[in-house]
Amino acid sequence: MSKRRLCILGGCGGIGRSLVAGALARGYDVTIMDLKAALAKHPAPPSTHSIEIDGADEASVARAFATVSSRWGALDGFVNAAGFLIEKHSLAETSTNEFDVTIEGNLRTTFLACKAAMALLEKGDAPSLVNIASGLGAYIRPQYGPYAAAKAAMIALTKTLALEHAPRVRANAVGPGPVDTAFLRGGTGRSDENGALTIDVDAFGALIPLKRIAVPDDVLGPVMFLLGEDSRYMTGQTLWVNGGAYMP
């Protein structure tokens, strides 16, 4: 039986690296897409294929997926784990440039990547797409306005993809709460990963029913579930992974 072909956008980030390792352990053939700086900082495992990409640039996305098409011809799974948060500000203190960059890097990237991935997923075997959104896309908190708006729109795009590509391709999302990764310090490939944390991890964890914030492997299981056969009757859904902090 041939290996399932999986592409992970943002595969060098904290969650992305967990997904790559988990997918390889489950027998997937994996292609990693990420920024040049992220690939340099966290090189892809030898058993994978890596592609440099700027997810907000249409030409870069087209080149990256053309490479995947040349290599495999189709995809069985695609995970969008790309995203970043610049700084926390009230909307009144958010510059237009910061708003535009946040929307572009999170929402435009999702649109371009999912559009390109769907063309290959349509040719795959029991194909599934998973967008990693955020609890902030539904559980709104102050000072996260542009990021929350982008993630809420990502969930809406995921639902649209689910309807437009059913029954051939399933599309779902995972909405994690805070995850202890470089994301909390500016993002892999976009910072030195040694900056100040954007939240007080201990204080935040104390407020969560499970008494801690997430680690990357907490997100792995839900994503792999949505990629696999056990979720075959699920599409257009969002799995909230937050230790009980948000219960819609």
Whether the Cβ atoms of residue 60 and residue 54 lie closer than 8 Å to each other: yes
Instruction: Judge whether 233 counts as a catalytic residue.
Output: no
Q: What is the secondary structure of 96-130 as a DSSP string?
A: HHHHHHHHIIIIIHHHHHHHHHHHHHTTSSS-EEE
Pairing relationship of beta strands 170-176 and 49-52 according to DSSP bridges:
unpaired
DSSP H helical ranges for the chain: 14-25, 36-41, 58-72, 96-103, 109-121, 145-165, 201-206, 216-227
SS3 52: strand
Q: Which one from 28, 144, 147, 233 is the annotated catalytic residue?
A: 147
DSSP H helical ranges for 122-209: 145-165, 201-206
Phi, psi of 134 (to 5 degrees): -165, 150
Catalytic residues: 147
